[in-house]
Structure 1
Amino acid sequence: MRQTTIRKSISCSGIGLHSGKKVHLSLRPAPEDAGVLFCVRDEDGSRFLKPAPDAVRSTRLATTLARGKDAIATVEHILAAVRGMGIDNIRIEVQGGELPIMDGSAAPFVYLLRLAGLQEQGRARRVLALKKPVEFVRDGKWIKAAPHQGFAVDYAIEFPHPLIGRQQLSFDCTPESFARNVAKARTFGFLHEVEMLRQNGLALGGSLENAVVLDEYGVLNDDGLRYKDEFVRHKVLDFVGDMAMAELPLWGRFEVFASGHALNNEFLRHITDNADEYLCEMHLSGVGVAAHDAPLRPAVAEAAIA
């Protein structure tokens, strides 16, 4: 399996969740081994930010990537789309300090990536693979992970709300399954939380056009839900995006309960800070078929996959 980028550049504009102002996004091809690279563009020029677990400055409302004075907010949905669609190398240029919230899901970004097209490159894909099980538990919430050839999630949430309750989703990430089952799930929040955020000058761009909002009994959006279990699907989307803060695509099977951006980032920092114990780099090549649950080999090994 070889690395990929997009075939051509593509751009769009939208509203920022935090500022409520118009922001601009451009997606551009990137060379082999470049990975995902963000570019902050403003009147002072362009500066580059590389996703990394320790580059996450804030996890309130969304995930914010930062270095020094430069920051880009709400990066998780575009990162989920990039990883979900199997793109290794891409340059993401942002004007306005945050990604456009679009409709609150990753579907508009998937649409843009498909319009740009996919370009196979010459070098073998590189991934970070879990090489031993790990459990990360905080205050009754947890992420448990184990080696797996691919990226799979068993995710459960539980909210004391009549429309949510306990929801669970098992998801094996491929471009097809991501676009069909996860990408369209929108971010959600509760009316009393939205009102409090607005009073504190936060989420100024949030609306029923880009989020599912619930009162005590049901959904306020006129169009209702896209899926009966849209809430857990969006949590899976966020998890894919937050794990994409790793230097390379991450391989493993993840069992998750009630996690959010903060716990996702704590978990990712834990396994990358202890990479010698938990992770190995693999280079994927060949066209043979490997069993999904076969043991993962050392970093220097070549993995033959379907």
Structure 2
Amino acid sequence: MSHAVTADDLRKSYPGGVRALDGLSLDVRPGEVFGLLGPNGAGKSTTVKILTTLARPDSGRAEVAGHDVLRHPERVRREIGVVAQRSALDPMGSGRENLTLQGRLFGVRATALRRRVDDLLERFDLTGAADRVVRGWSGGMQRRLDVALALVHRPGVLFLDEPTTGLDPEGRAAMWAEIGRLAAGESMAILLTTHYLDEADRLAARLAIVDGGRVVAHGTPEQLKEELRGDAVHLELRQPPDEPTARQVIALVAGLREVAFDGRRLSARADDGAAAVPAALAALESAGIGVAAVTVARPSLDDVYLRHAGRRYAA
């Protein structure tokens, strides 16, 4: 299958010895949503900047829509839509004016542009506010217009950089529905960066977890979760423990493995979490380590991140 986006062994360092990318590779197929996950500083933003021709890698190769990002950046820009973390809207223009200007910049002909603007305003439920100044719109409406702006010229590849940050639950749900329709209905490749693991689980056909400028895990959400046998056991301790002592105590509990600590949180895996919890509670309490809450659940993407990056996922 041909790829809409390909990155191969990308490396990038910034002044001061900061290594943003350390051999990152990934691919995105036409018609799929690909999730790119990782904490701040993991390399997500640098990856997106390189793929959208806003930065140059020190080494490695990348193609978007069949064009090399270094050799033909102007061709790449014609084929992509970008929704950045910061809004690109003109706050003093109306929604219709913002969309029309974007279309003109991409050379969309006047008649086709009028139809396209009307279609996008209706699609994103913005028709009623179309001729009002954007500055007075709600944050959710402005974010929907940001996405519409990136679609005016019908790109083949769409980059969404944390598109639902700051939206309320209703706004997030509406954005999720639209992203799903874009991938399914228009065969558009979508690269989505997000700090919401439930968002990636819901939307991404495949995903990559990035840490330290490298891909530490990749696959479908279900594949990644299925790699973790058994149950996830999480114990919220009353106070941060002496970790060596807590590890020594918990090591005596049969059935627990892959124990990790993150502040007051102790996480482990167990073939039978319900059976392992009483023994773990008794052992910790006898050592003077109080437990405030216990959770036993099937593996989540947060557990996948913990497994591969050694800490819980955090923005």
| TM-score, normalisation: structure 2 | 0.25
Higher strand share: 1
Structure showing greater radius of gyration is 2
Higher helix share: 2
| TM-score, normalisation: structure 1 | 0.26
| Higher RCO (CA < 8 A, seq sep 6+) | 1
